[in-house]
Amino acid sequence: MRKLTSAHFLNHEIVITTEDDLFDCEEHSHTYIELAYIVNGSAIHTLNGVDKNISAGEYVIINPGDIHNYKKTSDEKLTMINCIFTPIRRSAEASYIYFDSVLNSLNIDLDTLIANPTNYIFRDEEKIVFNLLNIMRNEYNKQNAKYKLILKNLYDAIILYSVRFITAPSKNSLSITDYIKDYVTVHYNEPNLLKKISADTGYTTQYLSTRFKKETGRSFKDFLQRTRINKAASLLTNTNLQIPQIAESVGYNDIKYFINTFKKYKEHTPTKYRALRIQKQQKNDFKKP
């Protein structure tokens, strides 16, 4: 990749560079925030030891100090636009300005985000970010009057547009914990849920587990088990499905484990629970005039 010197940043807060064919990119880190947009080709982007595929029309945002590199995965040219941002330091003690500070300056509540923006691959399906970057590149190259202000405003527009896609979907105040609850409510019968949520949001499973426990007072596993068992109890009450069918439908492949877990949360085995519910329903029906 093109090596940048202090001259690139002299009197500039934003720098736009282009890599026509990136074929040799060793592990490296920066002292600035970088937005890297893939215009053509595909690659494996390794960020802090984690590999993710990235291809044309996708882009990443990289924090200062993060270690990353690219490896081409096709014979096509790997063409990239780099938007490098060096925010003004608010204090002499600050060695780096991280992307969280940029979001805060734009009044974006980090708790509304369902993914970590610096560990996420954004997809520019409508080429809006690509078009804005091209306008920025034109402004940067010509450096006409007010171009710095135009660059800053366009950069802010890209960030706001990008963050829209990782903001909680149902309401702006929805936190990552609320997102986990909603996700489990829909996908409770699927395996490896926390790993899937981690892949979707960009947060580690450990972070998700810790935050969920802190905000709810219960573990993710306990919440998932309760959700599955409550659904199973509903099926026992309202359907004629056999217990193995119910177990499988709510995410349990081990019938013995399902029975033990059900008894833990409902105090009875599934068979006993169904019998008691039937008795209760019959009594209620008998009392009806």
Of 164, 194, 210, the position where a domain reaches its end is 164
What value does the mean pLDDT of the chain take? 86
Cβ atoms of residues 51 and 36 within 8 Å: no
Residue 265: predicted pLDDT: 96
CA distance linking residue 170 with residue 140, whole number of Å = 38
Q: Residue 93 has what pLDDT? A: 45
Cα–Cα distance, 120 to 256 (Å, whole number): 39
- Which two tokens mark 174? 């929805």
Residue 248 tokens read as 């499988």
Q: Determine the pLDDT at residue 170.
A: 46
Domain boundary among 135, 164, 193: 164
Residue-level pLDDT at 203? 79
Q: What is the DSSP string of 65-81?
A: T--EEEEE-SSS--EEE
Q: Is the dihedral of CA 142, 143, 148, 150 positive or negative?
A: negative
How far apart, in Å, are the Cα atoms of 124 and each of 60, 114, 205, 271, 287?
11, 18, 27, 52, 62
Residues 115 and 31 in one domain: yes
Residues 70 and 26 in one domain: yes
* 169 falls within a domain: no
Q: Is residue 170 part of a domain?
A: no
In which element (H, E) is residue 117 found? none
* 156 and 190 assigned to the same domain: no
Count: domains in the chain: 2
**Same domain (yes/no): 193, 147:** no
pLDDT at 105: 83
User: With 0-12 CB in 10 A as exposed, 13-18 as middle and 19+ as buried, what is 70?
Assistant: buried
- Residue 221 maps to which CATH number? 1.10.10.60
Can you tell me the distance from the alpha carbon of 30 to that of 18, in angstroms, rounded to the nearest whole number? Answer: 17
Which residues in the chain come in under a pLDDT of 50?
4-11, 89-94, 170-173
Instruction: Give yes or no: residues 205 and 146 share one domain.
Output: no
Show the DSSP H helices in 17-146 as ranges: 99-105, 128-142
Contact predicate 64/33, CB 8 Å: yes
Query: What pLDDT, on the 0 to 100 scale, is given for residue 140?
Result: 92
User: For the domain that residue 128 is a member of, what is the CATH number?
Assistant: 2.60.120.280
Residue at 1 is within a domain:
no
Q: What range defines the domain where residue 35 resides?
A: 6-164
Q: Residue 217 domain-assigned?
A: yes
Q: Reduced to 3 states, what is the DSSP secondary structure of residue 190?
A: coil
DSSP string, 210-258: HHHHHHHSS-HHHHHHHHHHHHHHHHHHH----HHHHHHHTT-S-HHHH
104 found inside a domain = yes
Give the angle subtended at the CA of 142 by the CAs of 136 and 143, to the nearest 5°.
80
What is residue 96's predicted lDDT score, i.e. its pLDDT?
58
